[in-house]
Amino acid sequence: MWVNFFIMIVLIVLTTGFHAGGMILALNLSRLDRGDKLVRRFIRPLYIPWFRVSNIVLLMFLIAVAEVTLWAVAYQALGAIDGFEPALYFSMVTFTTLGYGEIVLDPNWRLLASCEAAIGIIMFGWTTAIVIATVQQFYFQQDVTPDLRIGPKDDSGGNTSHRS
């Protein structure tokens, strides 16, 4: 049981790390129009609000797929599920809490699956918050996102390395 608990903790930390990295990337992409003249001139016209929001949604979906794949690899490596495709399918169904139930884990690994479902709910809630922040920023011109860019800050809290 302690081995299972340790595996759960490692998978939760890795899943959260993937999601945090995706969030930072998404929020930085949402701030492209604040960059230098070259970015403003060539990229900004492509980033109309609905297109930018859909890019953030697509990015966060791909992050979720990476997280599901991480859990699928763990199930296969632990011998809980034979074959990558069934492990990926089971992981996707569990992470999204859809739970069809045609693949059932050995009792030794059931707790791991329930943990994946719990972290999946949390990750989808976090993704929803990122999308809502993006929508507020683009459609209501409210910057509710923290400045996560790397570099020196000016007195207003902005990043001076990207300003012209």
Per residue in 100-120, pLDDT (tens digit) is: 878 888 888 889 999 999 999
* Contact indicator for 60, 131 with CB cutoff of 8 Å: yes
The percentage of residues in the chain with a pLDDT greater than 70, rounded to a whole number, is: 74
In this predicted structure, what is the pLDDT of residue 99?
82
Number of continuous H segments (helices) and E segments (strands) in the chain: 5, 0
Max CA distance (Å), the chain = 60
Q: Tokens representing 20? A: 């945090």
Q: Domain residues of the chain, as ranges?
A: 2-149
Rounded to the nearest 10 degrees, what angle do helices 110-139 and 2-29 cross at?
A: 10
Is 157's pLDDT higher than 60?
Answer: no
Is the pTM above the cut of 0.85?
A: no
pLDDT (mean) for 127-152: 72
Say whether domain 2-149 belongs to CATH 1.10.3470. Answer: no
Single-letter amino acid, residue 65: V
